[in-house]
Amino acid sequence: MAAKTAKQEDDPRRPPLADAQLQHLYRLMVKIRLFGERATILQRQGRIHSFLSCEGQEAAIIGSAHVLEDRDWIFPTYREYAIALLRGLSLKDLFDHLFANQADRIKGHNLPPQYAFRDRNLVSISAPVGSQFPQAVGAALAAKILKYDRVTVVYGGEGATSQGDFHVAMNFAGVWKVPVVFFIQNNGWAISVSARTQTASESFAVKAQAYGFDGEIVDGNDLLAVHEVTDRAVDKARRGAGPTLIEAQTYRLGPHSTSDDPRMYRDEAEVGAWRKRDPIVLLEQAMRERGCWPDEFAEKTREDARQEVQQAANQALAEPLPDVATLFEDVYHTMPWHLREQMEEFQRRASRSGS
């Protein structure tokens, strides 16, 4: 049996996105695109360590996360930083983390761009591929046991579905019917490994059937379609009806990271074909058809976003680096004796050297 292909349909449970919401989401997509461009420039200048762009995947990320409540938990990868903006954080918060400066909420303890915003239920990403899947299922099971009205959404690329952690999590989620949504962004390439050589299955969504729950395929560049299918999946999980696997078929327009050169392994004609389906352009077309595209909207949106991104980057650059003493903080709830001794020894040496 093939996985279901999600289509935009009239949903009596929730009204369609209002014009003002579409305009807000469009602005956010433009803003995060320009943020990625600025971050890439900063990396090339040697001001930040590394960066992974979400260019081409903005609709999949923003469209899916927009349906969530603030109480819901999110286990992201390194490309879902736009969710932080959806949850009320600022561009400066994102830049602070990239610079690992004094204002960084995690004090430089995570290698950028492994961001974390605990107060917004946005869990830290980690470098091992796929490790977030069992963690997310565990959080969802805890919510079910404690009868919390919370849904957990876990993001991953199609390459992560080849990891054992993915299948362990899927099996556990299916058996225990935990309130979790697996959101797989099939962007065509797991660094240099194509999706075609990643699986023998007809899709990634179809894998859900082996674990006893639904898998759905959606056009990941169509924000409205992504929003609708994720809304249904989240509602299903919240009602206690179990998990869903969503495969958002999208494309990574840029390199995997700032240390990657995709020209070495993929055809530029393929990239060009996907650029014609840029999710920002597709949303503009949908808004024009609906009649919620004011004159000069695109120009003003881009200029406002450009200024906001530049201002946030400049403000973050002006922040000093964290005090070295913060190395000893937030490692344990109560600092153990040996770590306290190390901290005190460091402070004595720093005092003697005048640093």
Known catalytic residues are 252, 256, 265
Residues 199 and 159: their CA atoms lie apart, in Å, by 9
Q: Give the pairing of strands 180-186 and 244-249.
A: parallel
The count of residues in the chain is: 355
Angle between helices 279-290 and 58-65 (to 10 degrees): 60
**3-state class (DSSP) for residue 259:** coil
β 189-190/193-194 pair status:
antiparallel
E strands present in 33-89: 73-75
Q: Report residue 272 as tokens.
A: 């060009």
CA–CA dist 173, 238 (Å, integer): 14
Report the relative pairing of strands 180-186 and 152-157 from DSSP bridges: parallel
Q: Helix (H, G, I), strand (E, B), or coil: what is residue 345?
A: helix
Token pair belonging to 125: 């990403």
Phi, psi of 69 (to 5 degrees): -90, 160
Cβ neighbours of residue 318 closer than 8 Å, sequence gap 6 or more: none
Q: Which amino acid, one-letter code, is at 64?
A: S
Give dist(CA 49, CA 78) in Å, integer. 14
Q: Point out which residues pair with 249 in neighbouring strands.
A: 186, 219
Max CA distance (Å), the chain: 72
One-letter amino acid at 49 equals H
Question: Which tokens is 274 given?
Answer: 């996907």
